[in-house]
Amino acid sequence: MNPMIGKELRQRMRERRGWLLPTLYLVALGGVVVFYYYLQVTVRRPWDPRGLQGSEIGAALFLVLTYAQLSVLLLLAPVFSAGSITIEKEQRTLTGLLTSLLTPLDIWWGKFFASSLFLVLLLLSSLPVLSLVFAFGGIGPLQVLLATLTTLFVLGTVSSIGLYCSAFFRRSVHATAVTYAAIIAITALSAITFGILMARWEAQKQVRTAQLVAAGTPAAEVAQIPETPPLWVRAPLYVNPYFLVTLSFGTADDWASDGVPSLAVFMVLFLLSFTFAVRQIRKGGEQT
């Protein structure tokens, strides 16, 4: 085993947060389940003659749980990754690691594995909570598996970004702040950008439809105007973690058109942050 992995795991599991965070995490997810179910069974739907359907509760509850889980893990990821290398700089132990038999790649891999493993532990511990949706129906094991794998893929990318920030900056507070800024950029800013582009495209489509109708174009040709947003509108979503996780409900066509490009974007972000982090570690963590 990489000695960095053993060192990091022993250090993390001896800390109080080693057992406190999983407990609070599961309590939070359990609270989401109870609160959402309470809202569903207490809110009446007089406009729906079918009443409350179990499959609808299961699908909606699974989506809410998936989003809640991803939100919590995105908040926790910088805590474990952004300070992994800066703590070595602050304690003046990074030079000793660099002069040992460990290569910069070994150091990066040990830090990445240790920081990601705790997030994987939290992710796996939530599977029984996610499996509660099977009692309602509407969700199968494939959706749970896809949601778990896509969440794991996103967390790996975020951890890699956090390690690059940790290798670049000298202080943990700076590395953590920049990592959170990156998370905000790929979540909130990408969604805002998509909303702006979507509104612009909808306006262009309405103008185009009005022009065709005014020109006396047959209704069959007017109906051929695409309803699906083009690539330049959907592109900001490819970097959004919530969009990738939402594709767990998608079909094979959704994965072919949007899922594969989104996975490719996250893979590029992972490889770039990994490459620059190893290079920065090789330089001794000195800021260029």
Task: Count the helix, strand and coil residues of the chain and give each as a percent rounded to the nearest 5.
Answer: 80, 0, 20
For residue 51, the model assigns a pLDDT of 56
* pLDDT of 285 higher than 60: no
Do 145 and 59 contact (CB within 8 A), yes or no? no
In this predicted model, what pLDDT tens digit does every residue of 168-200 receive, in sequence order? Answer: 988 889 999 999 999 999 999 999 999 999 999
Q: What is the pLDDT of residue 218?
A: 74
Q: Which helix (H) or strand (E) holds 141?
A: helix 141-168
The pLDDT of residue 48 is 54
Average pLDDT over the chain reads 83
Give the residue, 127 or 16, on which the prediction is more confident. Answer: 127
Q: What is the average pLDDT across 108-137?
A: 84
* Confidence tier at 135 by pLDDT (50, 70, 90): confident
- Look up the pTM and report it: 0.85
Which residues contact residue 90 at a Cβ distance below 8 angstroms, ignoring those fewer than 6 apart? 170, 171, 172
* 199 or 23, which is more confident: 199
The confidence score (pLDDT) of residue 11 equals 67
Lowest model confidence (mean pLDDT) among 18-27, 64-73, 257-266: 18-27
Q: What percentage of residues in the chain have a pLDDT greater than 90?
A: 30
Tell me which residue of 253, 250, 59, 75 sits closest to 150, measured CA to CA.
250
115: closest CA among 12, 244, 45?
Answer: 12
pLDDT digits (tens, 9 = 90+) for 215-254: 777 777 666 677 788 888 899 999 999 999 988 887 788 8
Q: Measure the CA–CA gap between 163 and 276, rounded to whole angstroms.
A: 10
d(CA 206, CA 213): 11
- Rounded CA-CA distance 30/24 in Å is 10
Judged against a pLDDT cut of 80, whether residue 12 lies above it is answered with no
The pLDDT assigned to 253 comes to 81
Rg (CA), the chain: 23
Tens of pLDDT, residues 35-68 = 887 777 776 555 555 556 667 777 888 888 899 9
Q: 3-9 long-range contacts, Cβ below 8 Å, gap at least 24? A: 3/102, 3/110, 4/97, 4/102, 4/106, 4/107, 4/109, 4/110, 4/111, 4/114, 5/109, 5/110, 5/113, 5/114, 7/110, 8/84, 8/110, 8/111, 8/113, 8/114, 8/115, 9/114, 9/117
How many other C-beta atoms are found inside a 10 Å radius of the C-beta of residue 85? Answer: 29
pLDDT score at 9: 66
- Answer for the pair 143, 63: CB distance below 8 angstroms, yes or no: no
Could you tell me which residue, 266 or 223, shows the higher pLDDT? 266
DSSP 186: I
Task: State residue 43's pLDDT score.
Answer: 65
Residue 30 scores a pLDDT above 80: yes
3-class SS letters over 205-270: HHHHHHHHHHCCCCHHHHCCCCCCCCHHHHHHHHHCHHHHHHHHHCCHHHHHHHHHHHHHHHHHHH
pLDDT at 150: 93
Q: Which pLDDT score is estimated for 73?
A: 92
